[in-house]
Amino acid sequence: MKYLTEYRDAGKVRLLLDEIAGTVTRPWVLMEICGGQTHSIIRHGFDQLLPPEIELVHGPGCPVCVTPLELIDKALLIAARPEVIFTSFGDMLRVPGSEKDLFRVKSEGGDVRVVYSPLDCLALAKENPDKQVVFFGVGFETTAPANAMAVMQAWQLGIDNFSMLVSHVRVPPAIRALLSSPDNRIQAFLAAGHVCTVMGTWEYEPLSEEFGVPIVVTGFEPVDLARGILRTIRQLETGSAKVGNAYERLVTQPGNLPAQQVIDTVFETCDRKWRGVGLIPDSGWRLRPKYVAHDAEIRFDVGEITVSESPLCQAGLVLQGRLKPNECPAFGKECTPRTPLGAPMVSSEGACAAYYQFGRTGQHSQDV
C-alpha cells in the first residue's frame, strides 16, 4: 500500500477484524502506549468492534498529560514575568496548573505564544533581544530531536536570550514501571510508531524478554491498528513474547541514528516524575552541563513548588490503564473540556478527551 486512503480502507479493516476474531480464544489485555493511538482507537470504534475477549487499556502515552503539576506551575510563573516571551505547542495552553493555565496567564497580560517548531523560537529571540524567549520542551522521544537541535543551535549561535523548560519523558522506563507494578494486568503492548521511527525497536527487546510480553510497534490509521492488534494476538495465543513491527514503512530496528545522536549530544537521562503516576527512574531527559545556560528552570530559579492534585480527578489511574476515563466519577460532570480537572481532558492526545469527544459514556456506535 502506498497511499493514506488505503490505510483507512473499511474493507481491509473488516477482513483484519475477522482474522482477529478467528485467532483469539481467550481473554487478553493490551495497552496502547500512544495517546494518538488512543484517539484513533476510540474515533474508529475499535474498542467496540474487537472481540469481547480483547480488552484495550490506555497507557501514559500523552506527554502533555504526564507533565508534572509542579512543572506546569513553574511554567506559569515564568510566563507571567514581564521580560519573558513564553512559547509552547498549542495543546499545553489549556493544561490546568494548581490555580490557572497558560491561557489565563495570557489573558492577564503574559506574552504567551503558540509556535509550531522550537526552531521558531530562535528567530523570535533574535528579533527580540531585550526579551527572554522560553520554550516549553514537552514530549516523548518523538519531539526530542527538534528540541535538542534548537538548544544546540542557540549555543552555537550565541543566542543567549533563549532557554527551554524541559519536560521530556522516555517510553521504555514507563513500560518497565507498569510491568513491575504488583497489580499489573497488561499482557502485551502496542508501541508508538512515531517514537520508534526515531528510536527504533532495540530498546524494547530487553523488556519483552525480561517480562515475557509481546511489544508490537503499531501505526495510527485503522489498518495499522488492526494489523498491530492481530500480530499481538497471534503472539499471545502461541505463547510468544517478542518485539514485532507492524509499522514497517517507517520503523526500523536501529531507528534514526542521526536523530538519536543529536538527542544524546544535548540531553542526558534523569529520573522524572510523571503526573498521576509518580517518579520513574531514568524516564526523563535533561540538558547536559554544557547547555545548562539554556535551562529555563535554572535561569529563572523557580525553585521547589508544593502542589496538590484535585481529589476528584482520577487521571493517574487512567494513565496507568487501571481505569477507563468514563469510570471516573467526575468524568463529564465536574470534569469537562471547559472545566478540566486534569490534563487528559484537554490534551489533544488525552484519553479522557477522546472519550468525551467521541461519546464514550455508555452508548455504542460503529465508525469503521
For the chain, where do the domains classified as CATH 3.40.50.11740 start and end?
A: 64-168+255-299
User: What CATH class is the domain 4-62+171-245?
Assistant: alpha beta
Q: Can you give the pLDDT at residue 366?
A: 36
Contact between 315 and 322 (Cβ < 8 Å): no
Beta-sheet strand order (sheet of 28-32): 54-58, 28-32, 188-192, 215-218, 243-245
Contact between 315 and 343 (Cβ < 8 Å): yes
For the chain, where do the domains classified as CATH 3.40.50.11750 start and end?
A: 4-62+171-245
CA distance linking residue 359 with residue 305, whole number of Å: 37
Nearest CA to 80 out of 116, 64, 104 is that of 104
The predicted-structure confidence for 291-349, as pLDDT tens digits, reads as follows 999 999 999 998 777 787 788 899 889 988 889 999 999 999 999 998 999 899 988 88
CA distance linking residue 299 with residue 307, whole number of Å: 21
Q: Can you give the pLDDT at residue 365?
A: 35
Q: Can you give the pLDDT at residue 61?
A: 82
CA distance linking residue 246 with residue 277, whole number of Å: 29
Contact between 116 and 88 (Cβ < 8 Å): no
E strand residue ranges, the chain: 28-32, 54-58, 84-88, 111-114, 132-139, 162-169, 188-192, 215-218, 243-245, 267-274, 278-287
Regions of the chain short of the pLDDT cut 50: 363-368
- Tally of helices (H runs) and strands (E runs) in the chain: 16, 11
CATH number of 64-168+255-299: 3.40.50.11740
Q: At 71, is the secondary structure helix, strand, or coil?
A: helix
Whole-model pTM above 0.95?
no
Q: Can you give the pLDDT at residue 1?
A: 65
